[in-house]
Structure 1
Amino acid sequence: MFSRYTFIYALISLMFILICGMTSFWYFEGMSLFDALWLTIITITTVGYGDKVAHSIGGRIMTIVLIVGGIGLFAYVFNELITAVVENHLPSTWRRKKMMRGINNLNEHTIVCGIGRVGQEVSAQLKHEGVPFVVIEKNPTLIEKLQEKEVLYLIGDATIDQTLIKAGICKAKTIIITLPDDTSNLFITITCKDLNPQVRVIARATHPESIPRLKRSGANHVISPAAIAGSRMALTALKPASVAFVQNLTEITMVNLELEELPIYDTSPLAYQELRNSRLREDFNT
């Protein structure tokens, strides 16, 4: 079994022996530093070309030390390195560090808590729109799907403050909480508003009675998937044409129609104007 800390200690010990051997051959044999390093390496690796050997007592003593201790240590480090590659420890470590670099570079991004069925739909639309986001998920099975889609993710519990901080909650613009447990969603909402009062919180509510509680806790928007699905199905039965029209406007796969939202501030020339007087159609063909 690969042990990261044991491997690091063994690697440091090997580097120490290399430095000691190089210094000893340089001092006792009068070699250049490069030749001393060369002799140390070929001794530890048991190559022994014979082109350079130790002649002094001190040099020969160091050769004995390298043969007795260095060869075994080198074999151990090499074996641990192969084990790490075979057990996928090194690739996973590199992938995790690369992932954290990507997360740390995010700013004004979106955090998605949970990658269940609802979270997967949210992530798919965010990726389609090119919105920078990171997913927090503690289920390793669901994480594997994220790796295939090349999505930034963080393995951890979103109810823990440190996990949210690692995901960049203090720099985030929006957090979308999709967990099926209303209690967890409520706790995350409170924590997010405590860490970043300006963040926009969009929370999922499984039970109707949780909606006002989430809003009182600071959620800007509370979505009930069951209520929305039921309402959509009823409207489809009653007004199918209207539902189809709205769906065409908001469907992410549509290429001919786009629905965008742009904020208009008090200083804008469009502020407080009627739509017919705004000249949006004439100036922007919208």
Structure 2
Amino acid sequence: MKLPGHDAIARQAGERLVTHRVELPRQRVERPLFQVTKRVLMALLVLVGTAFIVYFDREGYTDNSDKSVDLLDAFYYATVTLSTTGYGDITPVSDGARLTNIFLITPLRVLFLIILVGTTLEVLTERTREEWRLNRWRTALRDHTVVIGFGTKGRSAIQTVCATGLKKEQVVVVDPSSKVIEAATADGYAGVIGDATRSDVLLRAEVQRARQIIIATQRDDTAVLVTLTARQLNRKAKIVAAVREEENAPLLKQSGADAVITSASAAGRLLGLSVLSPSAGMVMEDLIQQGSGLDITERPVIKAEVGKGVREIEDLVVSVVRGHRVLGYDDPAIGKLQLMDRLITIVRVSPHSHVAPDLKPLPQD
């Protein structure tokens, strides 16, 4: 396997200086112009309301200049009062006017000031809310799926897994690009910005409590380092990794990957099959695309199937998983199905299903 050169090492070291953080899916946020306009209108509403309160009780106020208070004076008094300027040229003199100032105008003044400093308060509230959401998310996150790399391979892999019923709340995406994480959070996934070869970044994704880890990095050497780190943090998780070169697959398995997919070779074989038999290529592509047409699924053997042969059950079985061995449907070692066996079958997906595919077994010949 080719190791990165000096330039690549320097680039990776530079990337590690980037602050890594967790990004949760965000709710719809109002535009800044709309927020400012809404606050201005609210402030004006409070100002107008205060002015009319003063005007309706104008007999209880006195103006040092002409001893009377008109509508303009009411707006002037409301402005200097709400802004806490308080020149003192217009003052409440009656008991009713003073009670009105205590129980109405003072709360309105507080509300006016809250609106004026609303941006600062909103930022503080938003930070508190995000911190609370993050703590709650970390507490509830168990047996989730971590996806390292959200490019074409990573995105397709998680879409396939989610098509079988996995909730988006149970997926965490790790990628060094903030734009990629923004795309992931926009799709409803939680994201961690950072270099996945570092254990502290993977710990932020709670990889130590994950059930399965999908490694879909752009470089094979990065995939090896991520696999080693992830396996060190989680000994029980199922790790599936993708590599470009087939010669690097054994190294990934030695690093702790349970399954390794060679993307370049797989694409090449599919191209070759499509040239030799376009129909066979279409069938293979249909099997690869989860959630439509034909799908390959794995399920446990039910009690009614125990003791039967592979061809005696209704589903179209292609392999039997027994322990750590995968046996072909025609392998004599299968014999009779056992309760602990798992079947890899081809099923037809209902076109009316949108969340989890409605799987219908294909009959055996």
The structural deviation recorded for 1:271 is: 5.3
Greater Rg, structure 1 or structure 2?
2
* Equivalent in 228, 233, 237 of residue 190 of structure 1: 228
- Equivalent position amino acid for 1:219 in 2: A
The answer to whether 1:259 aligns with 2:288 is no
SS of equivalent residue, structure 1 residue 150: coil
- What does the per-residue CA deviation read over 1:161-198, in whole Å, with 9 as the maximum and x for residues that have no partner? 12222322222121011111222211111122222111
SS of equivalent residue, structure 1 residue 262: strand
* Equivalent in 110, 134, 152 of residue 190 of structure 2: 152
* Bigger relative contact order, structure 1 or 2 (CA pairs below 8 A, ≥6 apart): 2
- For structure 1, the 5+ residue unaligned runs are 1-42, 54-74
CA distance in 1, matches of 2:311, 2:144: 35
The answer to whether 1:114 aligns with 2:152 is no
Identity %: 25
CA distance in 1, matches of 2:251, 2:243: 10
SS of equivalent residue, structure 2 residue 239: strand
The structural deviation recorded for 1:224 is: 2.0
Q: Which residue of 1 aligns with 2:3?
A: none
The answer to whether 1:236 aligns with 2:271 is no
The structural deviation recorded for 1:153 is: 1.8
1:175-254 mapped onto 2 (5 Å cutoff): 175-254=213-292
CA distance in 2, matches of 1:200, 1:216: 14
Using a 3 Å threshold, how does the CA distance of structure 1 residues 109 and 79 change in structure 2: closer, same or farther? same
- What does the per-residue CA deviation read over 1:46-77, in whole Å, with 9 as the maximum and x for residues that have no partner? 49985499xxxxxxxxxxxxxxxxxxxxx7x9
SS of equivalent residue, structure 2 residue 299: coil
The structural deviation recorded for 1:232 is: 0.8
Q: Structure 2 length normalisation: TM-score?
A: 0.50
CA distance in 2, matches of 1:280, 1:89: 58
- Equivalent position amino acid for 1:225 in 2: S
CA distance in 2, matches of 1:137, 1:89: 28
Q: Structure 1 length normalisation: TM-score?
A: 0.62
Moved over 6 A (4+): 77-80
CA distance in 2, matches of 1:201, 1:177: 7
- What does the per-residue CA deviation read over 1:14-49, in whole Å, with 9 as the maximum and x for residues that have no partner? xxxxxxxxxxxxxxxxxxxxxxxxxxxxx9984998
The structural deviation recorded for 1:100 is: 5.7
Question: Which structure shows the bigger proportion of residues in strand conformation?
Answer: 2
CA distance in 1, matches of 2:286, 2:217: 28
Contact 1:99 1:153 in 2 (8 A): no
Contact 1:112 1:175 in 2 (8 A): yes
Contact 1:205 1:224 in 2 (8 A): yes
Using a 3 Å threshold, how does the CA distance of structure 1 residues 154 and 272 change in structure 2: closer, same or farther? farther
1:25-174 mapped onto 2 (5 Å cutoff): 46=84, 50-51=98-99, 82-83=119-120, 85=122, 91=126, 94-95=129-130, 97-98=132-133, 101-102=136-137, 104-131=139-166, 132-174=170-212
Give me the CA root mean square deviation. Answer: 3.7
- For structure 2, the 5+ residue unaligned runs are 1-80, 87-91, 102-112, 317-359
Contact 2:314 2:361 in 1 (8 A): no
- What does the per-residue CA deviation read over 1:126-181, in whole Å, with 9 as the maximum and x for residues that have no partner? 33333232111221111221232122222222222122223222221210111112
CA distance in 1, matches of 2:131, 2:151: 22
Q: Which residue of 2 aligns with 1:63?
A: none
- Equivalent position amino acid for 1:260 in 2: T
- What does the per-residue CA deviation read over 1:179-221, in whole Å, with 9 as the maximum and x for residues that have no partner? 1122221111112222211111111212333211111111111
CA distance in 2, matches of 1:285, 1:182: 38
